[in-house]
Amino acid sequence: MFIGIDLGTSSVKTILIDENQNTLASKTELISIENPQNGYYEQDPDQWYEATVRCFDFLKKEKPREFAETLALSISGQMHGATLLDKEGKILRSCILWNDTRSSKECDEMEKKCSNLREISGNIAMPGFTAPKVLWVKNNEPDVFKEIDKVLLPKDYLRYRLSGEFVTDTSDASGTLWLDVQKRNWSEELLESTSLNIKHMPRIVEGSEQSTTISKSIKDQFGFNHHVIIAGGAGDQAAGAAGSGVINSSQAVLSLGTSGVYFSPTSKFSSNTRKAVHSFCHCLPNTWHHMSVMLSAANCMDWVSGMYGISIEDFYKIVGDFSNDITNIKNAPFFLPYLSGERTPHNNAFIRAGFHSITTSSSKAGMLYALLEGVTFGLKDGFEAVNEINEKTDETYVVGGGAKSETWLKLLSSAINTQIIQGEDSNLGPSLGVARLAMISTGKFDQENVMKKIHTQKIINTSSQLVDILNKRYEVWSEIISANLKIAKNIINH
């Protein structure tokens, strides 16, 4: 038996699977977020462990015999969070989370201190990453900073509580800005830019490697029959890809959630920081991945549906009916999908959303279509930024809540001019991905057999007529974006 733990931002989810990857039991426990002021997001690390204990208690109650026979477990985690411990292993302050934006100045400071930052890390310094958060602590909470003995990512603090060991994996470590992503090891140069060194960092392993085992006290507390292996684990996106079987350069997955993420594995390291593409290690050896991030994808649909007082199902029906007539598409307004700024390809916190080319003949349906098209074009931006440096992809899967909409998938397929595969609706995602890593870590299972592809529900093909129309509209949309970028900061600061 194998356990997968997914430590998210709002919950901890655990699953218990057998060697055939059948889910025997699962449990989710909610956790809370602190928001002490605008742009600040923190969490008490102790609640990660407490929620995991409650999940384990449930799994044990549901499947006592199977739970006791667990051979290995692994953890997926929300990335980037700065968990700071002193020499006694005690928490120094609440963990600063991935979505915290307080460290913009520290990003500039890091870029100036380390001219090789982008080359080494494969990424631009952004407030979401771990290193700028810790530099913020140095600049604003010096008494806390001087007590730091270890910096852990969220899932690795949970590993520490389960084992007593300080270990991370390459995929999660890629999101710190301290990792030499090509060499898959800590960079002393990047660490020095934040006044830290290797001693402050956990040991690094690959995601499918054995990292440690549970402590005797944990073994006794939960009645495990074995010294349960803890595999290296993964950051949430890499774990989700592993759960979908997206592990090699011929595959990619597009996640259509609140944000939009295009995830594409690769067999060699390369970067495109000019377009704000993330270049990270994947959770399997000798594999990396490129990732574009669109901050407001389905979030735009939720926003406009709430504003119009319609359900998301009604939104897609209205847009579907409207887009059945090609003439409607040709004459539709345009939408800039930047409710929260944008990551890929602009890396611009100031750019904002808006409609363009509205006339007296513009209808509600046309406005809703424009919004979905604008989000689709934003995803196309990320898709093309990744593919500037990527190997050829033969299979592009779509997952997430938005993947349930055939209207969106038809538009998306023609916008990126690529056949897309609608994946099986599964809420296991990262927890299944790391449970698979746990299986591999035992040495009893072959990686290729464990990392099964996601089941296909439907294949969406492109429409040549729609491809031509959307290409022309994308050119105009891109020109509108360029003009908007020139005035974005002035709009915010007027």
Buried b or exposed e, range 229-239, using 16+ CB within 10 angstroms = bbbbbbbbbbb
Burial of 398 (0-12, 13-18, 19+ CB in 10 A): buried
DSSP β-ladder status, 72-77 and 2-7? parallel
Q: Which of 236, 302, 325, 446 is catalytic?
A: 236
Long-range contacts, 191-198 (Cβ 8 Å, 24+):
192/114, 193/110, 193/113, 193/114, 193/117, 193/131, 193/135, 194/110, 194/131, 194/134, 194/135, 194/138, 195/135, 195/138, 195/145, 196/134, 196/148, 196/151
- Pairwise CA distance, residues 428 & 436, whole Å: 12
> In Å, how far from its chain's centre is CA 36?
24
Residues contacting 200, CB < 8 A, separation 6+: 148, 149, 150, 151, 191
Half-sphere exposure of 312 (CA within 13 A, CB side): 14
Say whether 236 is catalytic. yes
Q: Is the dihedral of CA 243, 247, 251, 253 positive or negative?
A: positive
Round to the nearest angstrom and report the end-to-end CA distance of the chain.
Answer: 59
- Pairwise CA distance, residues 494 & 490, whole Å: 6
- Pairwise CA distance, residues 470 & 464, whole Å: 10
- Pairwise CA distance, residues 149 & 380, whole Å: 43
DSSP letter string, 152-203: E-HHHHHHHHHHS--EEEHHHHTTSS-EETTTTEE-HHHHHTTT--GGGSPE
Looking at residue 354, what DSSP letter applies? Answer: E
Tell me the catalytic residues: 236
